[in-house]
Structure 1
Amino acid sequence: MAPISIRNNPDRLRYEVLDGDLAIGQAAYVDDGEGRRIFYHTVIDEDYGGQGLAGRLAAQALDETVAAGLMIVPVCPYIKNYLGKHTQYADNIQKPTPALLTVLNNALARRTRR
């Protein structure tokens, strides 16, 4: 097994957990263009479960989001749960609103039409 790494892949709008060059997990997001990053799906390949990779992924994704000056909009259940346990992000969270959910839905619809 190669060293596990985590990187932001802005072309694919996701943070990725990599085993060498193989993507084994992700935290997908949409940026709304107004200073908010909407996290909507987090997953780790079941073969890599139980290693704390989802927590490492969430921490890096959220730390980099805050460092970039963006607000965190948690739609993904994993990210919501993680934020509930890690209060250091409290000042950087914006609850999802109907308008932000529309931004997310529109962005996802555009991606599926490609």
Structure 2
Amino acid sequence: MDVTVQDNPERRRFEIRLDGEVAGFADYRMRDGAVVIVHSEVDRAHRGKGLGGVLAKQTLDTLRERAEQVVPACPFFAQYVADHPEYDDIVVK
């Protein structure tokens, strides 16, 4: 199983791909210099495989590498960062 997460700036979303197929995404918008994660989802056929957590982790890791701040407006991402305080340095409170 090959899993990758990539930014698709044309669609303003991070996509998680499973064996090359888009299996989920996290939509974002830019606001006041921060990346606002507004919505995320994993395709029904791929739920229960932990892909949501992989999507959140790799999205946040990429944003950290870019020295960007994030607003987790999406409930899934908000819960993920609440459960993973190691991302507090990039989360806008």
Q: By the TM > 0.5 criterion, same fold? A: yes
Unaligned runs of 5+ in 2: none
Of 57, 60, 64, 2:58 maps to 60
Identity %: 31
Deviation of the 1:76 alpha carbon: 0.1
The aligned amino acid for 1:76 is C
Alpha carbon RMSD of aligned pairs, Å? 1.4
SS of 1:92 mapped into structure 2: coil
Q: Does the CA-based 8 Å contact 1:35-1:69 persist in structure 2?
A: no
User: What do the CA deviations read for 1:42-65 (whole angstroms, capped 9, x no partner)?
Assistant: 100111111110000000111111
**Correspondence for 1:42:** 40
Unaligned runs of 5+ in 1: 96-114
Q: Matched residue pairs, number?
A: 93
SS of 1:94 mapped into structure 2: coil
Task: Supply the distance in 2 between the matched residues of 1:71 and 1:77 (Cα, whole angstroms).
Answer: 17
User: What do the CA deviations read for 1:54-112 (whole angstroms, capped 9, x no partner)?
Assistant: 000000111111211111101100000000010011121113xxxxxxxxxxxxxxxxx
- The structure with more strand, counted as a fraction of residues: 2
- The structure with more helix, counted as a fraction of residues: 1
Deviation of the 1:19 alpha carbon: 2.6
